[in-house]
Amino acid sequence: MEIPPDDGYTWRKYGQKDILDSRFPRSYYRCTHKNYYGCEAKKQVQRLDDDPCTLEVTYCGSHTCKTSPTPIRIPSLARSPIGKDENDDTNCHGHPQAAPTTTPFTSIQLGNWFEGSSRQEGQTQSGRDVDYCPVAELADAMFSSGSSGSIMDAMYLPRPGN
DNA sequence: AGAATTTGACCCCC
DNA sequence: GGGGGTCAAATTCT
């Protein structure tokens, strides 16, 4: 299991499928307390066949459980939404009702963001408390910059010299 | 024991 | 029927 960029929330993997578009399987994540807070926020993590070191995380829905449960300190996604307020549809593929007004999709590509960041010991699962990566900041950057269009403009591709 | 993760099966849409 | 996505059950870890 790879270490998907933590945006300040806890995600619980609910599925993994191998898609034809990529040579790598796509992982599906949901909010850990979705059943408690009704957080419809979802996250898809897929490795790019072009850059196996790059993880493309696609966010779907909105976080309704933000700044409540987890002791996270994320001033980025914790504040106002994507610059809109009618983003309450929490739909991305259109199951209940279509919401083509605002596609709540956010594709950010993370390279070896974890390389030499906070990996000091050997455990990569227990370190999800306070010692989080700058991914949240980069997410904030794109959230503040590209709300509905120039998301790809704020893409974060480190390219570790590959 | 509880929670999270993994894998498979099932369902929905094209 | 194929592809994609989600849920459920089992297993493993904390």
The pairing of beta strand A11-18 with beta strand A106-110: unpaired
Is strand C in 7 Å reach of the CB of A1?
no
Nearest nucleotide relative to A30: CA against C1' = C6
Phi then psi for A13, rounded to 5 degrees? -70, 125
Is strand C in 7 Å reach of the CB of A26?
yes
Closest CA to A133 of A111, A146, A156, A114: A114
Residue type (1 letter), A100: P
pLDDT tens, N- to C-terminus, chain A (162 residues): 555 556 667 888 999 998 887 888 889 988 877 556 667 778 888 887 666 667 778 887 766 665 444 444 433 444 444 444 444 555 565 555 544 444 455 555 555 544 444 444 444 444 444 444 455 555 554 554 444 443 444 344 444 444
Is strand C in 7 Å reach of the CB of A105?
no
Closest CA to A89 of A77, A79, A104, A78: A104
pTM, rounded to two decimals:
0.65
